[in-house]
Structure 1
Amino acid sequence: MGKVALIVGAGPGLGASLAKAFAQDGYDVALASRRSGSLSELCSEIGAKQYICDASDAESVENLFTQVDDDLGPPDLVIYNAGAYTRGPIAELDLDVVRATLSVNGWGALVVAQAAARRMIPRGSGTMLFTGASAGLKGFAQSAPFAMGKFALRGLCQSLARELAPKNIHVAHIVLDGVVFRPERGEPYANADTALHPDEIARTYLELSRQHNSAWTYEIELRPYVESF
């Protein structure tokens, strides 16, 4: 079997660009999303396999990894690209929606990391890449749920990197500071001059996966040239 890449939270935009980049690099690609049918065309184009998974549900995640094990083999690379977003004044937040947001951004990342680690540790190699956001570095007004989830994700990545690097498992947190170019969503996503291009983001993920273990990156920030920081 060849190298296997599992992308959790696949979809149009960055998920599709990641899938294409790793397929072109010779990986057998598995794409996991919450809904069926949304990736059929992409899977046909690059020869990927699609799976249904709710990243915030531990049983669903374990079933996903078991299916990928059986179909392609244990993943050499796992990308956690799932995310959820809600915002609003603290006094008006819907707590059920907040709980769901935290489950995807934080809890789901931990569950996926655990399943990946259980396969990578015995092998003594592997790569885990996590899609973060500038909200994981600073909490913006009326964005408490997103900040909480992304801060949790960043803390998880730091802990994983320190635990797993000595076991030859590379963990990296990629901070996306800006919106991702998606012209069908309208402004500000449609402005190619001010948005992050998903193909260029995917190129960074690919380069991270190729790093020699003598010079690993554990966190990197990506932002358009016009983004203030």
Structure 2
Amino acid sequence: MPTTALIVGAGSGLSASLARLFKAEGMTVALAARQIEKLSTLCQEIGAVSFACDASVPTQVEQLFTDVESRLGLPTVVVYNPSFRVSAPLIELDPSDVEKALNVTAYGGFLVAQAAAKRMLNHGGGAIFFTGASASVKGYAKSAPFAMGKFALRGLAQSIARELAPKNIHVAHFIIDGTIRSSERQEPTNRPDSMLDPDAIAQTYLNILRQPRSAWTWEIELRPWVENF
């Protein structure tokens, strides 16, 4: 039976690499984002289908899963990619920005995981993957909202991995500890491979997805070979 993969928070970076790789592996790919216009080129390239969704709104998340299942089949691979970053000294932070950071980075992860798990439990299995960051384990100065959101997302992943793994649902959290290379961000010529290649990150997601369930990983860190940690 063909696999449907749903990538929430899709864009031109890591999620695009994931989408291309999943498609190359024979999966049907669904892409969700608040603004789907930015996904038109990628959808045309690989034959993916886009869905508009604000992952921090419960009704929109439920509608997303209903629409994906109706059009493409039950998503048995779900990747949660969204985050919202705001940087400022603690006493200068706008509470509304902090609330948005928590809603997008962590609360949305809960909503998507809950909607996915309800369906995967009935199906008999699946995979739910979360994209973390350096801030998942290190709270940097002037970045409290991002650290709060990513710490919470990691806690969610750890908790539901213990709950759902015995029910044949593979939950994994990926700590991306470094800067991801993009067309706008390139490493200096004298520091080759000092940024994370999004295609290489995507390959790791696929490797984890393929793990035998007798030896599942719930968390993995990825960083360039020159990254300090």
**TM class by shorter-chain length?**
over 0.9
- Map of 1:197 onto structure 2: 197
Q: CA separation in 2, counterparts of 1:122 and 1:53?
A: 24
**Would you say 1:215 and 2:191 are equivalent positions?**
no
Matches within 5 A, 1:146-157: 146-157=146-157
| 1:228 CA drift (Å) | 0.4
Listed as ranges, the gaps of 5+ residues in structure 1 are: none
Q: Deviations over 1:105-162 (max 9, x none)?
A: 1100000000000100111110011000111112111111010000000000000100
Q: CA separation in 1, counterparts of 2:59 and 2:41?
A: 27
Q: CA separation in 2, counterparts of 1:21 and 1:185?
A: 22
Q: Deviations over 1:29-49 (max 9, x none)?
A: 000011021111111111110
- Map of 1:78 onto structure 2: 78
Identity %: 58
- Map of 2:183 onto structure 1: 183
Change (3 A) 1:112 1:228: same
8 Å Cα contact 1:181/1:192 also seen in 2: no
The alignment's C-alpha RMSD in Å is 1.3
Q: CA separation in 2, counterparts of 1:67 and 1:187?
A: 40
Q: CA separation in 2, counterparts of 1:36 and 1:137?
A: 31
Superposed structure 1 runs of 4+ greater than 6 Å apart: none
Q: CA separation in 2, counterparts of 1:177 and 1:185?
A: 16
Q: CA separation in 2, counterparts of 1:193 and 1:126?
A: 33
- Map of 1:36 onto structure 2: 36
Count of aligned pairs between the two proteins: 227
DSSP 3-state at the match of 2:142? coil
- Map of 1:16 onto structure 2: 16
Change (3 A) 1:199 1:58: same
- Map of 2:50 onto structure 1: 50
Give the counterpart letter for 1:33 in structure 2: A
| 1:192 CA drift (Å) | 5.7
Q: CA separation in 2, counterparts of 1:192 and 1:44?
A: 32
Listed as ranges, the gaps of 5+ residues in structure 2 are: none
Q: CA separation in 1, counterparts of 2:225 and 2:86?
A: 27
- Map of 2:128 onto structure 1: 128
Q: CA separation in 2, counterparts of 1:221 and 1:95?
A: 31
8 Å Cα contact 1:33/1:52 also seen in 2: yes
Q: CA separation in 1, counterparts of 2:195 and 2:186?
A: 12
- Map of 1:7 onto structure 2: 7
TM-score by length of 1: 0.96
8 Å Cα contact 1:10/1:31 also seen in 2: yes
Give the counterpart letter for 2:201 in structure 1: I
